[in-house]
Amino acid sequence: MNANVAIQVLPAVQTDEEIVRVVDEVIDYIKSTGVNYYVGPCETAMEGDYEELMEIVKQCQYIAVKAGAPSVMSYVKITYKPDGEKLTIERKTAKHHINDIAKAMKSA
């Protein structure tokens, strides 16, 4: 792994329900690639090989249009370190989600 990428896909559609539907299709595509990812409320983070992640970013645009968005705007953040390991999603976020499982169990 030599890269982390975060992508926020903003499809140009009319309703919130359509935004969610199109973005869900993009997220389903990201899931299908097999890369490690984390879905947040405003963006999805991925980690892996730089070239593979850039191809996924490219395909996200096509997936959104295929899902019905007449156009799409995406914001992409890239951390790339060709000669070494990047900080993992887990290392960056785990300490902030320690109580997530306990909260989920209480509400179940």
Q: What is the pLDDT of residues 28-80, one digit of tens each?
A: 999 999 999 999 999 999 999 999 999 999 999 999 999 999 999 999 999 99
Average pLDDT of the chain, as a whole number: 91
Q: Which domain holds residue 21?
A: 3-107
- Reported for 46-54, long-range contacts at CB under 8 A and 24+ positions apart, including other chains, are 46/4, 46/5, 46/6, 46/7, 47/1, 47/3, 47/4, 47/5, 47/86, 47/88, 47/89, 48/1, 48/3, 49/1, 49/2, 49/3, 50/2, 50/3, 50/80, 50/82, 53/3, 53/5, 53/78, 54/5
Which DSSP state fits 15? S
Query: What integer is the mean pLDDT of 73-102?
Result: 83
19 band by pLDDT with thresholds 50, 70 and 90:
very high
pLDDT top residue among 10 and 106: 10
pLDDT top residue among 101 and 41: 41
Number of domains in the chain: 1
Model-level pTM?
0.84
Contact criterion met (CB below 8 Å) for 12 and 71: yes
Q: At what angle do helices 50-66 and 16-33 cross, to 10 degrees?
A: 140
> Which CATH number covers residue 26?
3.30.70.930
- Give the pLDDT of residue 102: 67
